[in-house]
Amino acid sequence: MDPARNRVLADLLGACARRDEAAFSRLYQSTSSKLFGVALRILRREDWAEEVLQDCYVNIWHHAASYEAGLSAPMTWMTSIVRNRCLDWLRRPNLEVALGRPDDDGEDPLENVPSEDPGPLEELARSADAKALGECLRRLDPKQRQAIVLAFYQGLSHSELASHMREPLGTVKTWVRRGLERLKGCLGTV
């Protein structure tokens, strides 16, 4: 994300901390479509994604003062809130959640993220702030990349990854771990 937009969003968060409702409205307008997309990818149910989004913005409003610009970019901060909330949502001890998360509507997520076709990587390559990340993801072994991409975008756990990728749990865990290590190393150099 370009520095100018980061500054605008950080300023809006600052204004939210001072209870500026107009700033909150602008913050929502400029970020909600992305965050709703993120929640939808993980939860795959619009009603859940709507609830999560609602809860997250209410909490962003209440806790905007705790945003620390030095630690995270604004969009990273807000996206983390949404992703964490989605993951916690899926952990609810609730049958509805256990049974109700549509299993891709018969659609194999592997089709969305084939290991040979970079898919989202092309998108990342076009985005200024994610270019390096896209490049480093591209350099991973295909299986490592696939595991990381599925975990991030679809919110799959290790065991879900194992069943989707039809590989033993231990193998998948190793791919994730090694993939993350290599990503870190790569991002430190590019």
List the interface residues with another protein, window 22-41 (CB under 8 A).
24, 28, 32-34, 36-38, 40-41
Tell me the backbone φ, ψ of residue 123, rounded to 5 degrees. -60, -45
CA–CA gap between residue 74 and residue 52 (Å, rounded): 18
How far, rounded to the nearest angstrom, does the alpha carbon of residue 150 sit from its chain's CA centroid?
Answer: 11
Region near another protein per CB under 8 A, out of 5-13, 104-112, 131-139, 163-171:
131-139
Q: Is 160 helix (H, G, I), strand (E, B) or coil?
A: helix
CA–CA gap between residue 86 and residue 156 (Å, rounded): 11
Report if residue 4 touches another protein, rule: CB under 8 A. no
Rounded (5°) CA angle 8-35-18? 40
Least Å distance, CB 88 to another protein, is 5
Least Å distance, CB 1 to another protein, is 8
Least Å distance, CB 106 to another protein, is 20
How many residues of this chain interact with another protein, rule: CB under 8 A?
A: 74
List binders of another protein among 6-25 (CB under 8 A): 19, 21, 24
Least Å distance, CB 104 to another protein, is 16
**Contact pattern from residue 63 through residue 102 relative to another protein, giving x for each residue in contact according to CB under 8 A and a dash for the rest:** x-xxxx--xxx-xxx-xxx-xxx-xx--xxxxxx------
Which residue, 21 or 103, is less far from another protein as judged by CB? 21
Report if residue 48 touches another protein, rule: CB under 8 A. no
Rounded (5°) CA angle 163-168-172? 85
CA–CA gap between residue 36 and residue 52 (Å, rounded): 9
**Contact pattern from residue 150 through residue 189 relative to another protein, giving x for each residue in contact according to CB under 8 A and a dash for the rest:** -xxx-xxxx--x--------------xx--x--xx--x--
Tokens for 30, please give them: 């400029």
- The residues, any chain, with a CB within 8 Å of residue 133's CB and separated by 6 or more, are 124, 183, 187
